[in-house]
């Protein structure tokens, strides 16, 4: 198990270096000289040169990359080119917002998806099962921002149960925090719930028909215990989908954060991209990759625990 | 000035794009009437708390909460006293002497006086964004504790206007010296920035000072400013009652009326084609007045305003504001009334019967106007090769093209319009080319020498007529900015400010 963990960690670190390096050079190619955008077009060449020197843009690209990489390794992501605030501080301020929404959406997806998936697996062809099929078609056909808008209009504007925009931190008010993340989380989770439920339902049906389940039943195990065995064998696919959904939800957060005006890493990514704030973009990339690596690592651990054969891969 | 240009480009284009998407809110009549505090949705985040690095366009509400200006503007763009209680020009208009308040203290305890004013003005003159307001200023001097003198290197009749527009916010000299303004404001304004309850880039909270010298102008005990780029989100927040003032999308006007909100509109930007190469050095055809006139005749401005601009604006070929400029001449608006036959004839007369080829830049926010431009240029035989680029690159690269689609903020002061749009090189006017047109040059010189007042206005009118005749630009229309507010709060828009400063948001 230790070598399994070591391999996964090593591949995670390699992924981090490869993705951030790629982002660095792609961003430099795409953005070009950032000084006119940062200073305004009325800045003199001398003022632009001074800013280039201040942010280190006058150095060779490889030197800039090495400086960034060596600092990032110590946790220093540099300062934003827009406001000269530490990138780490800005990301730290915004990660809780995005994580609140994404984690809540993942929990919703897991709990509701699990319940619906099992219920559909136990009664294939039933009303709920047919409803799940219909939902999978409808929800995938609808654009995410449209679903978000419908939720805002119903629950934010008409019923006023939840705020239409904004984020309240749990330090300010736990109730306010839950209310502020509910609509964004639900709009993110709807598609994920259907995917998890479908995976679980299909896996459940596959496993139910296997010989060992018949044997368990023949031995007189209660329905609940049989279901538990089936669930353990049917869950890897659903767990994998759930982990992939978590990563996908991080990306989907950009749209949701814009619709709900949430100050998360999604909206920061958007604004940093618009003005070509490369240090912020690199910091965000690194943080996102770390999340992806951690989630995949945890997934591997869980899958390895559920199915020991996975550890041999 | 660069101040509002990016903001204008972004704001107008996004408003249009959102309108085209047409996907906002329900009906419902749930207009909020909570006016206990001001909760305003601003389109963009504050650019910088340092007045020298701030943009004027959307920074006004943020900076006006925490800073006092030396000079303010009234609703017509006329300079009015603030920290400077009065001022006087010398006979040659090369020295401005201003008297200052003596009862003002900055948040860090520093006293406001002439030395502080000079330190601020020097800082603003050196600023990359603010500096352009002081291009014609030679220096500043504190004559005594409450008198400051501004020495000009060249007469500049728009100086006080630009100072009032957002280029004379006074910050603590100690904070300027130490660079502390990068982390937060240190001013003497009517409100205190509540950093603890604010979330940068999401919500800024300000609480009113009880002993501010201009207390009566600021009626709200608390001000919350929300930068909301997405206009659908902003409108939803207004519908839900989370906002009571909003920088709005004109596409939502019917819903605003349904909700019984106050609606305020004012011309803010001109939309059309900017001829960067009026001398024909890059595209020889554009050096011919008849070709520029042909382009002006060809566009269906009213149709474009209706289809793309939500019919929220004024069809005109001038860029002196249609609502409050003494120079604006309504009778000239029919000069380039859409006439494709005449346009083609002009092209033929100029020696381009089959049109010509030209490259133009394009960025996503201008795509709303691209079909109309394509169709019109196509009918004229002008073959446009569009070069796609991101918005920041548009500002960088557009000046290198012979012409480009433009959404440019206007000034609320006629002399500022002259310097901004005609005589000074800007990204949107890279080659002023006044020298290449002797008639224009002569009129500009007369205007710049004339006594401010009716005489100068009369000369500006002549210049305006001349510029329209030369098709200096192909202006299609002047687009309005729109603001919604709930009953009990009124917004007074000011041309030149994309979002007005807090003194223009009142109870009532």
For chain A, say whether B427 makes contact (Cβ under 8 Å): yes
Intra-chain end-to-end CA distance of chain B, in Å? 33
CA angle A197, A200, A201 (to 5 degrees): 80
Among A36, A83, A263, the residue with its CB nearest the CB of B202 is: A263
Put simply, the answer to whether A166 touches B237 (Cβ < 8 Å) is yes
Å between B234 CA and nearest CA of chain A: 8
- Comparing CA positions, the residue from B197, B45, B159, B173 lying closest to residue B114 is B173
Asked if the C-beta of B55 comes within 8 angstroms of chain A's C-beta atoms, the answer is: yes
Q: Please check whether residue B424 touches A, CB under 8 A.
A: no
Give the separation between CA B483 and CA B291, rounded to whole angstroms.
Answer: 38
CB B261 within 8 A of CB B487: yes
Stretch A292-306: mean pLDDT, rounded? 79
What tens digit of pLDDT does each residue of B100-119 get?
999 999 999 999 999 999 99
For A93, the closest chain B residue by CA position comes to B199
pLDDT greater at residue A17 or residue A164: A164
Partner-chain contact B128 A42, CB within 8 Å: yes
CA distance A258 to chain B (A): 6
Chain A residue with minimum CA distance to B183: A85
Provide the pairing of β-strand B245-248 with B84-89: unpaired
Dump pLDDT digits (tens) for B199-240. 888 899 999 999 999 999 999 999 999 999 888 999 999 999
The total number of residues written for chain B in this structure: 508
Chain A residue closest to B32 (CA)?
A157
Percent of chain B past pLDDT 70, that is, above it, reads 93
> In the predicted model, what is the mean pLDDT of chain B?
91
Model confidence band, residue A9 (pLDDT cutoffs 50, 70, 90): confident
**Residues in contact with B230: Cβ distance below 8 Å, sequence separation at least 6, in sequence order:** A258, A259, A261, B18
What's the CATH number of domain A90-312, 3.40.640.10, 3.40.50.10860, 3.40.630.10, 1.10.3720.10?
1.10.3720.10
Two tokens, residue B173 = 């000299």
Decide if A274 and B391 are in contact by the 8 Å CB cutoff.
yes
CA of A261 vs chain B CAs: smallest distance (Å): 6
Q: How far is A257 from chain B (nearest CA, A)?
A: 10
Residue in A37, A158, A268 closest to B26 by CB: A158
Taking the CA of residue A145 and the nearest CA in chain B, the distance in Å comes to 10
Q: What is the pLDDT of residues A247-286, one digit of tens each?
A: 888 877 888 898 899 999 988 888 888 777 889 988 998 8
Give phi and psi for B379, each to the nearest 5.
Answer: -65, -30
Cβ-in-10-Å burial (0-12, 13-18, 19+) of B181 comes to: buried
Domain boundaries, chain A: 2-72, 90-312
Which of A33, A146, A166, A268 to mutate: most B Cβ within 10 Å? A166
Distance, CA of B93 to CA of A145 (rounded, Å): 57
User: For chain A, which residues lie within 8 Å of any Cβ of chain B, measuring from their own Cβ?
Assistant: 32, 36-37, 39-44, 47, 83-85, 93, 146, 149, 152-153, 156-158, 160, 163-167, 169, 172, 258-263, 267-268, 271, 274-276
Of A40, A157, A165, nearest to B25 by CB-CB distance is A157
Contact B51, B63 (CB under 8 A): yes
Tokens of A8: 């996964």
> What token pair was written down for B278?
């009026």
**b/e map B42-63, b = 16+ CB within 10 Å:** bbbbbbbbbbbbbbbbbbbbbb
- Give the pLDDT confidence score for residue B13 in this predicted structure: 42
The pTM of the full predicted model, rounded to 2 decimals, is 0.85
Whether the per-residue pLDDT at B62 is higher than 90: the answer is yes
Kindly give the interhelix angle for A223-259 and A211-218, rounded to the nearest 10 degrees: 130
B387 touches chain A (CB under 8 A): no
Instruction: Please give the tally of structural domains in chain B.
Output: 1
State the residue for tokens 């920041």: B392
Is ipTM beyond 0.90? no
SS3 assignment, position B45: coil
Nearest CA among A297, A287, A244 for reference residue A9: A297
**Beta-carbon separation of A276 and B392 below 8 A:** yes
| B179-196 per-position pLDDT tens digit | 999 889 999 999 999 998
Spatial distance between the Cα atoms of A47 and A39, rounded to a whole number of angstroms: 8
For residue B382, pLDDT over 50 is answered with: yes
Given an 8 Å threshold on Cβ–Cβ distance, is B203 in contact with A166? yes
Which pLDDT value is given to residue A41?
65
Contact residues on chain A for B1, CB-CB shorter than 8 A: 42
**Euclidean distance between CA atoms A40 and A38, whole angstroms:** 6
Range in A211-225, B389-403, B435-449 the model is least confident about: A211-225
Does any domain span residue B418?
yes
Question: Which chain A residue has the Cα nearest residue B203?
Answer: A166
Domain range for B370 is 267-480
User: Helix or strand or coil: residue B273?
Assistant: strand
The CATH number that applies at residue B426 is 3.10.105.10
* pLDDT (tens digit per residue) in B453-474: 999 999 999 999 999 999 999 9
> Nearest CA of chain A to the CA of B311: how many Å?
26
A166 contacts B202? CB cut-off 8 A: yes
Contact residues, chain B, for A27 at CB < 8 Å: none
CB neighbours of residue B399 within 10 Å? 19
């Amino acid at each position: 198990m230790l070598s399994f963990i070591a391999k996964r960690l090593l591949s995670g670190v390699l992924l981090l270096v490869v993705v951030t390096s790629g982002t660095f050079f792609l961003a430099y190619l795409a953005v070009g000289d950032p000084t006119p955008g940062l200073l305004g077009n009325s800045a003199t060449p001398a003022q632009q040169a001074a800013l280039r020197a201040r942010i280190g843009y006058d150095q060779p690209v490889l030197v800039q990359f090495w400086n960034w990489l060596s600092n990032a390794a110590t946790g220093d992501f540099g300062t934003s080119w827009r406001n000269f605030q530490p990138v780490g501080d800005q990301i730290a301020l915004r990660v809780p917002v995005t994580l609140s929404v994404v984690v809540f959406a993942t929990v919703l997806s897991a709990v509701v998806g699990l319940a619906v998936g099992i219920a559909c697996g136990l009664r294939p062809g039933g009303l709920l099962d047919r409803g799940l099929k219909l939902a999978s078609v409808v929800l995938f056909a609808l654009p995410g921002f449209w679903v978000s808008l419908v939720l805002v209009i119903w629950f934010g504007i008409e019923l006023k149960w939840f705020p239409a925009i904004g984020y309240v931190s749990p330090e300010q008010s736990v109730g306010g925090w839950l209310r502020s993340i509910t609509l964004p989380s639900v709009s993110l989770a709807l598609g994920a719930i259907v995917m998890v439920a479908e995976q679980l339902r299909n896996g459940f049906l596959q496993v139910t028909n296997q010989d060992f389940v018949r044997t368990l039943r023949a031995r007189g195990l209660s329905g609940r215990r049989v279901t538990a065995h089936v669930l353990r064998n049917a869950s890897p696919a659903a767990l994998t989908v759930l982990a992939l959904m978590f990563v996908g939800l991080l990306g989907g957060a950009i749209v949701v954060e814009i619709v709900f005006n949430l100050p998360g890493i999604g909206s920061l990514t958007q604004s940093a991209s618009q003005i070509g704030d490369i240090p912020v973009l690199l910091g965000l990339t690194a943080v996102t990759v770390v999340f992806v690596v951690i989630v995949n690592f945890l997934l591997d651990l869980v899958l390895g625990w559920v199915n020991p054969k996975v550890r041999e891969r | 000035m660069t101040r509002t240009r990016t903001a204008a480009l972004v704001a107008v284009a996004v408003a249009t794009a959102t309108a085209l998407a047409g996907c906002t809110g329900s009906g419902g009549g749930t207009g909020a009437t909570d006016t206990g505090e001001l909760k305003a949705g601003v389109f963009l985040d504050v650019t910088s708390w340092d007045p020298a690095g701030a943009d004027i366009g959307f920074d006004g509400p943020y900076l006006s909460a925490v800073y006092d200006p030396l000079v303010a503007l009234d609703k017509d763009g006329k300079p009015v006293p603030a920290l400077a209680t009065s001022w006087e020009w010398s006979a040659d208009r090369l020295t401005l002497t201003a008297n200052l308040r003596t009862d003002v203290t900055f948040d860090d305890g520093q006293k406001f006086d002439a030395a502080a004013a000079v330190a601020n003005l020097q800082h603003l003159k050196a600023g990359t964004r603010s500096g352009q307001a002081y291009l014609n200023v030679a220096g500043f001097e504190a004559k005594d504790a409450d008198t400051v003198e501004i020495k000009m290197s060249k007469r500049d009749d728009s100086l006080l206007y630009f100072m009032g527009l957002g280029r004379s916010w006074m910050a603590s000299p100690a904070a300027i010296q130490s660079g502390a303004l990068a982390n937060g404001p240190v001013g003497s304004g009517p409100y205190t920035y509540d950093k603890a309850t604010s979330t940068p880039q999401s919500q800024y909270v300000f609480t009113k000072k009880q002993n501010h010298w201009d207390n009566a102008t600021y009626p709200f005990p608390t001000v919350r400013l929300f930068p909301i780029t997405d206009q659908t989100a902003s409108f939803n927040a207004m519908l839900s009652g989370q906002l009571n003032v909003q920088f709005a999308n004109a596409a939502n006007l019917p819903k605003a009326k349904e909700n019984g909100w106050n609606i305020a509109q004012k011309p803010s930007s001109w939309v059309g084609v900017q001829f960067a190469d009026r001398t024909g050095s890059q595209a020889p055809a554009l050096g011919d007045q008849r070709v520029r006139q042909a382009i002006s005749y060809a566009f269906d401005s009213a149709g474009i305003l209706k289809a793309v601009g939500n019919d929220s604006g004024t069809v005109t070929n001038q860029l002196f504001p249609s609502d409050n400029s003494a120079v604006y001449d309504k009778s000239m608006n029919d000069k380039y009334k859409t006439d494709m036959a005449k346009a083609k004839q002009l092209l033929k007369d100029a020696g381009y019967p089959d049109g010509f080829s030209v490259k133009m830049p394009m960025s996503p926010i201008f795509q709303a106007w691209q079909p109309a431009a394509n169709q019109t240029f196509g009918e004229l035989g002008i073959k446009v090769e569009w070069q796609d680029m991101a918005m920041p690159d548009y500002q960088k690269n557009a000046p290198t093209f012979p012409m480009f689609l433009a959404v440019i903020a206007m000034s609320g002061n006629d002399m500022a319009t002259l310097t901004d749009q005609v005589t000074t090189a800007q990204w949107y006017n890279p080659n002023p080319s006044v020298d290449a047109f002797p008639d224009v040059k002569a009129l500009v010189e007369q205007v710049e020498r004339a006594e401010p007042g009716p005489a100068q206005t009369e000369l500006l009118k002549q210049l305006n007529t001349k510029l329209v005749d030369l098709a200096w630009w192909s202006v299609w229309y002047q687009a309005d900015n729109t603001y919604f507010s709930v009953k009990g709060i009124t917004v007074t828009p000011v041309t030149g400010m994309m979002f007005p400063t807090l003194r223009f948001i009142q109870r009532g």
